[in-house]
Amino acid sequence: YTADQWIRLGAVTTVEHLISTGESIPFIIIFPDDRYWNQPSGTGFGQRVVNDLIPHIDETYRTLPDPRFRAIGGLSRGAGWALQLGLSHPELFSSIGLHSLAVFQKDASKVDDWIIKIPPASHPQIFMDIGDADKELVSVQQIESIFTEFDLSHEWHLYSGDHTEEYWSAHMEEYIRWYAEQWNNQ
């Protein structure tokens, strides 16, 4: 949607709470904006994230440039990007959050190949959730069954709800806690 969507939905408030209470180690969260979200998906956004944004963040901030300490996640189309980039770049990400995943048509047939190419020791941790009234439910269930077929470790949550900000807002704390937990366990 827009670059401030995660912020409006409570992500920053949750991050600040987890860090200030000591429930999580400090971490950086980046909200890149796919300003062409209503256009057909192309390679531009993903290439900018991998080739420009991540190197810029690692050069500019005190990061741990290791996939064990980097996650990618998104809502809807953002989850589509997270699926694509997370599975096709295991050298960059160890955790993938797929919240109300909107699978890009061209990516649906590639998921198997991406998983096969990932060395077992580099398999990511995955969190998937969707509302039971979400228009993307059938395609998300197909992706979840592929993960199960390939024995790819993942959390799968089917909640009551639709493809809306109200749904995501209700689960934002759970999402942020899941990401933070991945790093706290390192």
| pLDDT tens per residue, range 136-145 | 999 999 999 9
CA distance 81 to 93: 13
| pLDDT tens per residue, range 147-176 | 999 999 999 999 999 999 999 999 999 999
Say which residues have a Cβ less than 8 Å from residue 38's Cβ, sequence separation at least 6.
Answer: none
| pLDDT tens per residue, range 57-80 | 999 999 999 999 999 999 999 999
Bridge partners of residue 97, in order along the sequence: 73, 127
Task: For residue 122, give the DSSP letter.
Answer: G
Asked if pLDDT for residue 37 goes beyond 70, the answer is no
Q: Is the pTM of this model over 0.85?
A: yes
pLDDT band at residue 33, thresholds of 50, 70 and 90? confident
| Token code pair at residue 18 | 């987890």
